[in-house]
Every structure is written in structure tokens, then in C-alpha cells.
Structure 1
Amino acid sequence: MPTDSSQTTTIRELASTHGLEIDPETINVNELGLDFQVAIAEAVDGQSWVLRIPRRPDVTDRAAVEGRFLRAIAPHLSVAVPDWQIHTEDLIAYPLLPGAPGLTIDDQGQPQWHFDLESGEYIQSLADVLAELHTVDPALVRSSGIDEFSPAEVRLRKRDDIARVVAEFDVAQSLRERWSAWLDDDAYWPTFTTLTHGEVYPAHQLMDGARNLSILDWTTAAIGDPARDFMFHHASVSAQAFDATIQRYVDKGGQVWPKFAEHCGELFSTSPVELGLYALQTGDADHIEAAKTQLNPTE
């Protein structure tokens, strides 16, 4: 989006105080992030950088965990992850990663997909990346401080999150009944946990055509339910494409269970719960209204 001169000056001066000299004419700001303002700019030596500027003080502690995690996980993945060469309370900056986002939002707020989600190349690439991630030994990243949940805790946490949102918002009865049935049925739930990214979807995937090159935004990384990394894919593709992805994932060492696909669908259905929790955390009126709409949609 266009960047005004005062904003450009502020970002340039912030970068300069951390030893990064950027060309102000190249600054391009993305305001979509909920936790960070993000800018892409070229340094005077021609290297492109990503600058993440915290929107609120409460994101700082989580960013510290994310930074430690990125250093720990990078050697174990074939895709690139951010290399935070600057990490302070007021700025995170790293060299621009390879690839282009698989999903962007246009000026009218509409999603723009930049590859075929059902292509065999994407199915293979996504399955390979997730199998690689999910088979990393959690012991290698545990010291970073990321959240870790046992199978029982995965389920209990989701139950507690839903209960909190139901207590604070008017939630449609159909959703409450759906989630209750899911929570009470053992067949849906994992009996093991893996390392997960938490928000794998094309806006966080930098692509070369339909092939994954880099993964962004590891703020939600945790040791927990592997379905977290498949739920967006499940919601976006045909059953045949999803089954092909899972077959490739299993062939590469991933592990699933009989109701894995159904569990992904139920997990995605709680996206309004996550929005509700975020709205309660920030107290932002727009987020609260959006959560109300999603939790009790007009019939």
C-alpha cells in the first residue's frame, strides 16, 4: 500500500538506530498484520529486508520465544525461515525470504490466489514440508519456550477456549452443539502430538509457482495437535485433493488417524473462537464486532 512521508521517515529512522540503512524510496508497508506493522524495503547495499514493528507491548514476550524457536528449527527444515538479524523490543528485521506469497489481498479486500491449490505439485510440496516439520524431534526446540501440550491438554484447552468464548459472546446454538459433540467423541482426537506451525495457509507460504520455498510467521508454533497445520488446507480443497495430500504425508513419515480429516474440519469450524479470544485479549471494538458476527451468523 502507499506509504506517506512521515511513516517512511519513522521507519527509516527506526531502522537506522539499529544499524540498518534503508532507501526510503523503497519502503512498502503492509498494515494487515494484527500484531506487527510490516514493511519491506531495500538497504543501501541493495539487500531487501522485512521489518516487523510491534503494535503493542504484549507481543514482545511472544516474539522472544519465536526468535529462539526460529534459530532452533532452521537447521532441520529444507524450506527457509526468517533469520532475525535484528531483534529488539521495537524492531525485528530479517533479509527477505525467497518466493512470493501464495495468497494476497487486493485493494478491495478480496483474496487473490496465485497458484492452483489442487495441483499435484502443491499437494506434494505441502505434504513434504509438513511431514518434515512434524517429524522433527520436539526435544530439539523445547528449550525455546514454545507451548507444549499433551494429547489430553490439546482437547482440554480447546474445551476451555470454547467455554470462555461462550461465556463472553452470544454463540449460535448450532455451533455450541456441534463443538460439544466433537469434544465428547474420542475418535476425533489425537493420541500423540507433534511440532506444529499453527497457521499454515498460503498467505504464510512463499512460493515458486506451486512449490513451497519459505514459511513465514511462526508466532503460533507449538508442540501439539498436527491437524492445526492441515485445517486450512482441508477447508480449501476437494476431498480428493486432501486425501492425496495425506497419502503423500504418510508416505513421508507423517502420522494420522481414521477421523483425521473430519477432525480438521471441526477444528477449522472453531476459527471464530480464536477470533473471539483475540478480541477479548486486545479489547479492540472492531475485532469484538467481527467475532460477534462470526459466532452468531445471521441465518
Structure 2
Amino acid sequence: MNTIDDVIALAAVHGLHLSARDATVNEAGLDYRVVMAFDTSGRRWVLRVPRRADVSEGMAAERHILDLVAPVLAEDGVAVPDWQVRSPELIAYPALPGVPGLTLTDAGEPDWHMDPADPGYAERLGRLLARLHSIAPERAGAAGVEVRTPARVRQAWRDDIARVSEAFTVSPALAEAWRAWLDDDTCWPERTVMTHGEIYPAHVLLDEEGTITGVLDWTTARVDDPARDLSFQYGAAGEEMLQATLTAYERAGGHVHPGLAAQAKHLWDSSPIGYALYALTTGAETDRATAAAMLNPEA
């Protein structure tokens, strides 16, 4: 599936007749290629084409997640995708209001449409996360969403680090930092919450005033460590904006345990682990080379 025309033709097979004229492509996602196109009535649609077979296998789980979070976030005027077409080769839904805070240029460079260090965004993000994290784990589990206990979260990181260390050469300094992190009881959550997992401006839609109107791509959502929804805010905007987000989060009812900020930083610093796991999934030599360089930068 290499061209816009191919994707438009695929949509037609599923009864969705769109125009290739003015259609655009977003290549930012690792799991899906996204095409935006209009139907004959002028309505804009989002077409998500899985990049790999394992992505298609997770569609049913994402559908459960969307059904769970949609009415909760709607209370704050935040929309999530409403899938009208769902098949192993295509997901399609009417475009949500607003525009992403971050996209990629044709050259693969980040193109910001907002200021990630905007205190107003930090405030709104904190409130959004408090609302999302308020969904009880029991309710999420009953809806078919994966639920990880605090012990399972920590063990999953141990397992992932072991897998990465077996497949790649990891610098001694990085390996020691990971060991210290896994052994530091203060960082790890006492309870887990319903998380998005990749909530950063590429997946957040904003209106002209900066209000959050929608959240996209719930592929990695599950009950997990609350810090996973805060790590990008630290990485993109720094310590001050992370603290501003946490202040708004707590004010809106979110629970801030003593090690939450430190854990958000650790999760940001753990990105080489995530990319290495991605490289093992794709098996692509370019991905493996990138992961190797991240894991052992002095080699």
C-alpha cells in the first residue's frame, strides 16, 4: 500500500467513496500510515492502514478501549475516533475537530503547531489526564481492556530490559542506570490507572484557542503506570512544564505519588528500550541499527 490512490481504492472496497484530490498523508506513526481525504459531501475522513500484521491483531482491543473512554472524555468535550470501517487492512472514521499539535514534514522532521512549553497546554493536559486516569481499573477490565498491577508493570520492564540486553549490546552506563531504576522503590506506582500510553502532541488535537478537542491513536492504552502519560511532557517541555502539568492534574483529582515526576523522567530516558523492542518486532535492519546506536552510543 504505497500510494494515496491505493488507500482510496481500498476505502472504496469498504463502501467509502473518497477523493484523492487534496488528500494528505501522515507518516508520523510507527504502527499506522494515515491518509486524510474528503468524501463527496465534503466530510473529511481518516484512513489508518496498518504497517504490519501484528498491528491488525490489536484492533479488537483498541475498539474496547475507545468504547470505554469515549463517554468519559466527552464530559470534558474531548472526542476520540468513532470507527465506521474496521478490517484487518483498514480503519476509517470521520475526522475529529481540531488539528494535531505536532506533525512530521516530508523530510521526517517535527513540525510543531503549538508551543509544547505553553503553561496553558500544561494545565489542559493535566486536567485531561486526571479525567482519563479516573476510570477505575475494575471498569476497564470489565470492558476488556488489559489491566496491569503495579507488580506486573515493574516485572514487565524487567522482562523488556532482559530481552533487549540479550539481543543488543548495551553500554555499561545504561545497563547500570536501568538496574538502579528497577531497584528504586520510590519511583514505582502504588496503584495503576487507565492510561493512553502515547499521549503527546501528535496524538492530541487542538482548536485555534489551544483547547484540547480530541485524542487519537489508543493502540497502546491499558491500565498501567500513570507516569507513562507524563513522560513526553517532560521530554518535550522540561521540568517546569512537567510540574505545571502535575499541579493541574492533582487539582483536577489526579493522585500524585511522591515518585511520579521522577518516574516520568525515567520513562522518557527509557526510550531506547522501546525502540529496541520495536526493532525486534519489525526485524528491519535499519531499525536494528538505529536501536543499536541508541543502546551503545559510544561504540
TM-score (norm 2): 0.94
CA offsets per residue over residues 69-124 of structure 1, 9 Å max, x none? 11221011031101001111221000001111111222333222222223231111
1: distance between equivalents of 2:196 and 2:227?
A: 10
SS of alignment partner, residue 28 of structure 1: strand
SS of alignment partner, residue 161 of structure 2: helix
Count of residues in correspondence between the two structures: 295
Query: What is the match of residue 50 of structure 1?
Result: 46
Are residues 1:135 and 2:131 paired? Answer: no
CA offsets per residue over residues 249-283 of structure 1, 9 Å max, x none? 11111012112111111111111101111111121
Are residues 1:36 and 2:42 paired? Answer: no
| Offset of residue 12 of structure 1 | 2.2
Are residues 1:229 and 2:229 paired? Answer: yes
2: distance between equivalents of 1:132 and 1:234?
A: 20
**Structure 2 portions without partners, runs of 5+:** none
Are residues 1:147 and 2:182 paired? Answer: no
1: distance between equivalents of 2:238 and 2:20?
A: 44
Query: What is the match of residue 100 of structure 1?
Result: 99
| Offset of residue 144 of structure 1 | 4.3
SS of alignment partner, residue 25 of structure 1: strand
Query: What is the match of residue 9 of structure 1?
Result: 5
Query: What is the match of residue 197 of structure 1?
Result: 196
SS of alignment partner, residue 27 of structure 1: strand
Are residues 1:273 and 2:269 paired? Answer: no
Query: What is the match of residue 116 of structure 2?
Result: 117
How large is the RMSD of aligned CA atoms in angstroms? Answer: 1.7
* 1:201-220 equivalent positions in 2, closer than 5 A: 201-208=200-207, 209-220=209-220
Query: What is the match of residue 62 of structure 1?
Result: 58
Does structure 2 conserve the Cα–Cα contact (< 8 Å) formed by 1:119 and 1:210? no
CA offsets per residue over residues 142-189 of structure 1, 9 Å max, x none? 244332110011111101101110111011111111110010111111
Q: Which amino acid aligns with 1:279?
A: A
1: distance between equivalents of 2:54 and 2:115?
A: 37
* 1:220-299 equivalent positions in 2, closer than 5 A: 220-298=220-298
CA offsets per residue over residues 8-38 of structure 1, 9 Å max, x none? 4322221111111111213222234322221
What is the percent sequence identity of the aligned residues? Answer: 44
TM-score (norm 1): 0.94
**Structure 1 portions without partners, runs of 5+:** none
Which 10-residue stretch deviates more, 257-266 or 80-89? 257-266
SS of alignment partner, residue 42 of structure 1: strand
